[in-house]
Structure 1
């Protein structure tokens, strides 16, 4: 299940941030992320995965790996 969540988070990240080839490891800010982009990202995560993430989480550790960890943990909490 967590690998399915990870794939979905990555897909949403790529869609919202329009990640160019060769920048798969770029941070939210390196991909020109801003507050509006953060809102779009967390809205899609909630809509598609049913996981609520605070917009501020995007600014604390703004990379895909950290976001995936947070979403996976929250999804586990929701399932418990």
Structure 2
């Protein structure tokens, strides 16, 4: 799934959720769950952002996940970052 900077936030949300699901090896979490409360850790955060970066073709900063620990918050942060870094 390639998500260029101009795609919708819905596509970015799917990308974020897919990355969390892949790295955390579970789909069993609510979108408003905090990443670190559902099994995430610093290594998992690096892997999530690496997966997102690979798909979008740009290095998206890991700090975005540390600052935005839910799917909706990270989606908004990634979408904003992609928009600003076209």
Q: TM-score range with shorter-chain normalisation?
A: 0.7 to 0.9
The CA RMSD measured in Å over matched residues stands at: 1.8
Match of 1:12 among 19, 27, 34: 19
Which structure carries more relative contact order (alpha carbon 8 Å, separation 6+)? 2
Gaps of 5+ in 1: none
1:60 aligned onto 2:41? no
TM-score (norm 2): 0.74
Q: Deviations over 1:26-66 (max 9, x none)?
A: 21111111111011011111111124332233222311111
1:75 aligned onto 2:76? no
Residue in 2 that maps onto 1:26: 33
Distance in 2 separating the partners of 1:46 and 1:60: 17
Aligned length: 78
Q: Which runs of 4+ in 1 moved over 6 A?
A: none
TM-score (norm 1): 0.78
More displaced 10-residue stretch of structure 1: 49-58 or 3-12: 49-58
